[in-house]
Amino acid sequence: MIVSLGLLFPLLVLYGFQKLFFILVHIILAPSPGSNETDVHLAVHPRCGPLWGNVSDMNAGVDLAPIKTIVSFGDSYTDGGRQDGGPLAPAVLIPPSPFAGGRSTNGKLWVEHIADAVGATLMDYAWSSAVTNISLWPSNPRPRDFIMQTTMFLKQENQLDPDTTLYTIFFGINDWVDSFVDGDHLPEAAHDLLGQMTLLSQPPTNARNFLITDVYGRGVRDAKGEAWLQSIFDGLIAFHAQDPLLNVAFANFATIWDGVLGPDPGYRAFGYVNTGPCSPGPKSCSDPDHYFEWFWGHPSRVTHKIMADYVWEVLDNCRVL
Same domain, 79 and 154: yes
Give the CA distances from residue 130 to residues 135, 143, 171, 180, in Å, rounded to whole numbers and listed in that order. Answer: 12, 8, 8, 16
**Cβ-Cβ contacts under 8 Å for 306 (sequence gap 6 or more):** 40, 41, 42, 256, 270
Whole-angstrom distance, CA of residue 314 vs CA of residue 308:
10
**Cβ-Cβ contacts under 8 Å for 316 (sequence gap 6 or more):** none
Which domain does 250 fall in, by range? 52-317
Looking at the domain assignment, is residue 220 inside a domain?
yes
Evaluate whether 164 touches 120 at the Cβ level (below 8 Å): no
Q: How many domains does the chain have?
A: 2
Whole-angstrom distance, CA of residue 179 vs CA of residue 161:
37
Same domain, 99 and 18: no
Looking at the domain assignment, is residue 41 inside a domain?
no
Same domain, 23 and 57: no
pLDDT tens per residue across all 321 residues of the chain: 333 334 333 333 333 433 333 333 333 333 333 333 559 999 999 999 999 999 999 999 999 999 999 999 999 999 999 999 999 999 999 989 999 999 999 999 999 999 999 999 999 999 999 999 999 999 999 999 999 999 999 999 999 999 999 999 999 999 999 999 999 999 999 999 999 999 999 999 999 999 999 999 999 999 999 999 999 999 999 999 999 999 999 999 999 999 999 999 999 999 999 999 998 887 789 999 999 999 999 999 999 999 999 999 999 999 997
Q: Tell me the chain's radius of gyration from C-alpha atoms.
A: 20
pLDDT at site 19: 36
Q: Where are the alpha helices (DSSP H) in the chain?
A: 5-29, 110-118, 146-155, 173-182, 186-201, 223-241, 254-261, 267-270, 301-317
Looking at the domain assignment, is residue 180 inside a domain?
yes
Looking at the domain assignment, is residue 254 inside a domain?
yes
Same domain, 5 and 150: no
Same domain, 137 and 236: yes
Same domain, 16 and 58: no
List beta partners, residue 83.
none
Q: Where are the alpha helices (DSSP H) in 109-156?
A: 110-118, 146-155
Same domain, 110 and 253: yes
Whole-angstrom distance, CA of residue 190 vs CA of residue 138:
17
Same domain, 159 and 243: yes
CATH number at 184 reads 3.40.50.1110
